[in-house]
Structure 1
Amino acid sequence: MQASVHEAKTNLSKLLEAVARGERVVITKHGKPAAELVPPKRGGVVFGSLAGKVDPKVVDAFIDALEEPMSEEELRLWEGG
């Protein structure tokens, strides 16, 4: 499905309904594709996906390192120097 910018402004709700039904909606400007309406990606964070894959000692060492201030060398590297 295609819609001009003007049509998209006027019928945005209908175009979003079409996208929700799985249609591809291309918005055109001066007859040329300018944008595409697509449904949002599903999924995201899966909690527990690293369970058993990360050594708890490494995690503890990382957390301990966060509690100490950076050395002059670490700070220089952090700042890109």
Structure 2
Amino acid sequence: MQEITLAEASKNLSELIEAAMSGEEVVITKDSQPVVKLTPVTPVKKRRPAKAGSAKGLITISDDFDEPLEDFKDYM
């Protein structure tokens, strides 16, 4: 863990960010008290939509799919 004062952190911010991104824990102190910890933001994994045609052959539709159901013939 790297502890650094606020004054030093303002001078070396880019180096501290690189250190945090590489996994090092960086704590910034003010008046000898820890006030900020630099940690990298973990990227959110986006869910990709299914590739077109990826379910081909997995789904079948019967020939009478759009025929009226027996239970509803009285209403037609």
Normalised to the residue count of structure 2, the TM-score between the two structures is: 0.56
Q: Report what 2:35 is aligned to.
A: 34
Could you list the per-position Cα deviations for residues 26-62 of structure 1 after superposition, in whole angstroms to 9, with x for gaps in the alignment? 010101110111001222432449xxxxxxxxxxxxx
Give the unaligned 5+ runs of structure 2.
51-76
1:15 matched to 2:16: yes
Instruction: Tell me how far apart the structure 1 counterparts of residues 18 and 46 of structure 2 sit (CA, whole Å).
Output: 27
Paired residues, number = 49
Please list every run of at least 4 consecutive aligned residues from structure 1 whose deviation after the TM superposition is greater than 3 angstroms: none
Q: Report sequence identity in percent.
A: 37
AA aligned opposite 2:43 = R
Pick the structure with more helix per residue.
1
Q: Which runs of 5+ in 1 are unaligned?
A: 50-81
Q: Distance in 2 between matches of 1:36 and 1:16?
A: 11
Amino acid at match of 2:9: A
Question: Cα RMSD (Å) of the superposition?
Answer: 1.6
